[in-house]
Amino acid sequence: MKIGAHVSIAGGIENAPQNAKLLNCECFQMFSRSPRGGNYKGITPKIAKKFLRNCKKFDFKIGEDYIIHSPYFINLASPNDKIYYGSINTLREELNTANLIKCPYVITHIGSSKNLKEKNRQEQVNKKVTKAIKKIHENYQGNSVLILEIAAGSGNIIGDTFEEIGYFIKQAKKEKIKLGFCLDTCHAFAAGYDLRTTKKVKKMFEEINKKIGLNYLKCIHFNDSQVDLGSHVDRHEHIGKGRIGIKGLKEVARIAKNLNLNLYLETKHNKINEDLELTRSFMK
């Protein structure tokens, strides 16, 4: 179990290991491209080799200590074919990139049901997302795994319940497709899962096991929340400074350690060193 943060790829993805080392991270998350979209040239074998060389140079274990987060524009339920198939193609590219740099996981949000017809909306979502996951993995031979992250649930956002995430993972399993789950503490809290006490945290992990399966939980985004329980608003806060608080987050960290799951902080970098130090203190 290691503790790290989301780091910048300014100047190229090959710079991420050094940026992570400068923050004293033990593991790190990064984008492989601009999260907002735009022209994407891809990762060349030369860049991949430089990235892997820098991982070794800065003491990050190849194939274990880093993950990719997909761009923000992903929507696997969009009625707009350009967005829908663009999201499918982007996630396949992300998996290809991940394989090139021996990255185990690509984390993604699922999308939104906005602009779908009201009648049978959930049925439409289930069909479109399941179809998208299948198309992303057509003839896929790689080892990197696509990981579905829980959402805060604002508006028509998909994936703010363990039941919904579990449904897509089960549908993928029927097609012999490997998927995983990423718990974000801020998102889960905003979605209505109480994390403020030891008892509540244990209850949440029991629910994950029941609705998804703890074997599918591959990593945790470790953030406090600026907003109240069930607010359905995604606003990260520094560790111990938000509405979740020290007691609950400390229990999450304890369980993560027992499950051998890495923690990736996504708090603002003006205090990220303090957040990392405080999180490490939870392990003592």
Q: Which two tokens stand for residue 195?
A: 């994390």
Using 50, 70 and 90 to split pLDDT, how confident is the model at 40? confident
Q: Mapping DSSP to helix (H, G, I), strand (E, B) and coil, where does residue 182 land?
A: strand
**Average pLDDT of span 160-176:** 98
Domains in the chain: boundaries: 3-281
Using 50, 70 and 90 to split pLDDT, how confident is the model at 257? very high
pLDDT at position 116 over 90? no
pLDDT at position 19 over 90? yes
CATH 3.40.1280.10 describes domain 3-281: no
Mean of the per-residue pLDDT values of the chain: 96
- pLDDT given at position 251: 98
Query: Is 48 within 8 Å of 32 (Cβ atoms)?
Result: no
What are the angstrom distances between the C-alpha of 148 and each of 112, 145, 161, 186, 283?
Answer: 14, 10, 12, 15, 27
pLDDT at position 115 over 90? no
Long-range contacts of 33-37 (CB under 8 A, 24+ apart): 33/71, 34/71, 35/69, 35/71, 35/72, 36/71, 36/72, 36/73, 37/71, 37/73
pLDDT at position 255 over 90? yes
* 213 Cα distance to chain centroid: 17
pTM of the entire predicted model:
0.97
pLDDT at position 130 over 90? yes
